[in-house]
Amino acid sequence: MASHNASGHNEEHHAEGMYVPFTSQREVVNDLVTKHDKISDKWLSGVAAAGFLLVLGVIGFVMRVNDGVSDRMVWAYYAMMFSFILTTASAAPMVAIAPRLANAHWRRPVSRVAELWSAAGIFSLLLFIPMLWILPPLTDGRRSLWFYNSDDPFFSKVPVYSPHIWTTAALLSLAALGIMLLWLSAMPDLALMREHSTGWKQKWSARLSGRWIGTTEQWNMLHHRMGIVGALYFMMLVFVHYLVSTDFLMTLVPGWIDSLYPLTHAANSLQAGVATVILTMFFLRKFGGYEDYFTLDQFWAMSKLLFALSLLWFWFWFSSFNVFWYGKKPSEQAVLKYLMVGSYQPAFMAGFILSFVTPLLVMMWNRVRKSFWGPTIMSVAVLAGTFFDRLRLYVAAWSYPGVGDYRVDKHEIPFDSIPAANMPGVPDVLIVLGVIGGAVLFYLLAARLIPPVSIWEQKELMLYKLHKAYHRTEVLVLGKPR
């Protein structure tokens, strides 16, 4: 029989990775509010480290600004990091949306961890602002989604800044939906903090929680709103990836015509989003004091998702590759040579191995999936693989000679003059570090205002779980809401 300690902990089940070892709502509230109120040294160290990296990034950015925006090549690594944050942090909230719609219990502590990454959506918006200057208008003669044609009396009237306008609108919508989702999901917890916190946190919680008092109607409405806003976030995420991957990537590479790639870009982001959340869970468990909430169940369930999405990585890549390789037109061969087997081959191989081969060979074993370290190490591999994949695509696209110059042909890469790889300089390295630091800093600051583990969803679990004797053992019985 499981042993219980004074605080209601069920140590045997805890060790097995079962659900939260508390038996009453008050215990959950006390535990999570105490954890959230305490400013730990580890949090301060994280903020200091992330802030330091961000400062380095700002220095790198200033160095690049001194070079101007007319030469797109010097901004290639900046564009890559913008897409990297869009692929990782902005996709992380999807981990909260899908399992919540499926009423899964294991996702209760995971949901807020994922939603908090929507705070980094504001950071990706800030990162996007310089991109508006760097991306040339459609007058350079490149292909585009927008039917612009300077020689046609009708289509020459299409705004030449259409990519800038529509991508800005889509990114703003995505950031707004992310913040709305976070705010809705956090509202009951903000009301709780309104009653239990002090100082600035109490003041902000009171403002943000509005008049939430927990009536049946308010709970009902919250449930429906979260479902609808979550669905809209998913639709907008795919749309943003569609626009960014075409206007800020594919159209810059002459001859790269692939109707599947925008979806590949979005699917890659789901994989990277899951990896981001697993890594965040690991840090919260290891350094945040949330080991009672992020148990083997959460890591096991998330690792299955990561494994499935890693297999999907290959499907998408191969579907596109096969068309180019089998078609073998000179323009297609040149694109393959430029992006995969030429000077960016090391980055492509790193992405292929880290995003697909390693997860396939390692995560096929259940013992690895059902562990703390296995999914975490694989998440690091997937994020590194995503980094290299974005590097070989975005850096190659923005480094292609003639971007913004209408005198250079934009329809085919000459097969015998494939450009060399654009290697990073000191400002690029600083920008890479700064962008990662900035995203982490936004997350850490948001986690000070909103608890990184959803308190009301943990309390709700108390209503549905029951430890029950079963012959010579004890089992955990979980009910399903709604």
219 lines the binding site for another protein (CB under 8 A): yes
When the beta carbons of 24 and 156 are compared against another protein, the nearer one is 24
CB contact set of 246 (below 8 Å; sequence gap of 6+):
144, 145, 262
Residue 182, SS3? helix
Q: In the structure encoding, which two tokens stand for residue 254, read together?
A: 């002459």
Distance CA 116, CA 321 (A): 35
How many residues would you count in the chain? 482
Q: Which of 25, 149, 320, 345 binds another protein (CB under 8 A)?
A: 25
- We find the least distance from the C-beta atom of residue 385 to another protein, in angstroms, to be 33
Q: 219 or 373: whose CB is closer to another protein? A: 219
**429 with 113: CB under 8 angstroms?**
no
Beta partners for residue 475, in sequence order? 468
460 binds another protein (CB under 8 A): yes
Neighbour-count burial for 444-459, b at 16+ CB within 10 Å, e otherwise: bebbebbbbbbbbbbb
DSSP assignment of 289-345, as one string?
S-TTTS-HHHHHHHHHHHHHHHHHHHHHHHHHHHHHHHH--HHHHHHHIIIIISTTH
394 part of the interface to another protein, by CB under 8 A: no
With CB under 8 A as the contact rule, the residue among 223, 286, 337, 370 that binds another protein is: 223
Q: Contact region for another protein (CB under 8 A) — 84-92, 209-217, 301-309, 413-421? A: 209-217
Q: Which of 225, 286, 370, 448 binds another protein (CB under 8 A)?
A: 225
> Does 304 help bind another protein (rule: CB under 8 A)?
no
The stretch among 3-11, 186-194, 305-313, 385-393 that binds another protein (CB under 8 A) is 186-194
Which residue lies nearer to another protein by CB, 211 or 367?
211
Binding to another protein (CB under 8 A) within 29-88 occurs at 29
List 474's β-bridge partners, or say none.
469
**Is 215 near another protein (CB under 8 A)?**
yes
For another protein, the closer CB: 367 or 482: 482
Is 259 near another protein (CB under 8 A)?
no
Residue 224 as a binder of another protein (CB under 8 A): the answer is: yes
Which residue's CB is nearer to another protein, number 194 or number 392? 194
Alpha-carbon span 438 to 53, nearest angstrom:
7
Residue 20: closest CA among 465, 451, 369 = 465
Contact (Cβ atoms closer than 8 angstroms) between residue 241 and residue 262: yes
**How far is 100 from 95, CA to CA, in rounded Å?**
9
Q: How far is the CB of 214 from another protein (least distance, A)?
A: 5
Q: Is 221 in the site for another protein (CB under 8 A)?
A: yes
The nearer residue to another protein, 52 or 239, going by C-beta atoms, is: 239
Closest CA to 368 of 300, 315, 320: 300
Amino acid at 229: V
481 counts as binding another protein under rule CB under 8 A: yes
Structural tokens at position 186: 């956090």
Binding of another protein at residue 196 (CB under 8 A)? Answer: yes
Which range in 61-69, 132-140, 205-213, 296-304 contacts another protein by CB under 8 A? Answer: 205-213
The residue type at 129: I
Residue 414 corresponds to which tokens in the numbers above?
């000459």
Task: Give the nearest distance from C-beta 390 to another protein in angstroms.
Answer: 29
Total residues interacting with another protein, rule: CB under 8 A? 34
Q: How far is the CB of 220 from another protein (least distance, A)?
A: 4
Confirm if 300 and 378 have CB atoms less than 8 A apart: no
211 binds another protein, rule: CB under 8 A: yes
Q: Which residues contact 101 (CB under 8 A, 6 or more apart)?
A: 227, 230, 231
* Using rule CB under 8 A, residue 466 touches another protein: no
Q: Residues 137, 159, 210, 327: which binds another protein (CB under 8 A)?
A: 210
**C-alpha–C-alpha distance, residues 236 and 378, integer Å:** 28
In whole angstroms, the minimum distance from the beta carbon of 182 to another protein comes to 16
Q: Which residues bind another protein (CB under 8 A)?
A: 24-26, 29, 188, 191-192, 195-196, 210-211, 213-217, 219-225, 228-229, 232, 235, 456, 459-460, 462-463, 481-482
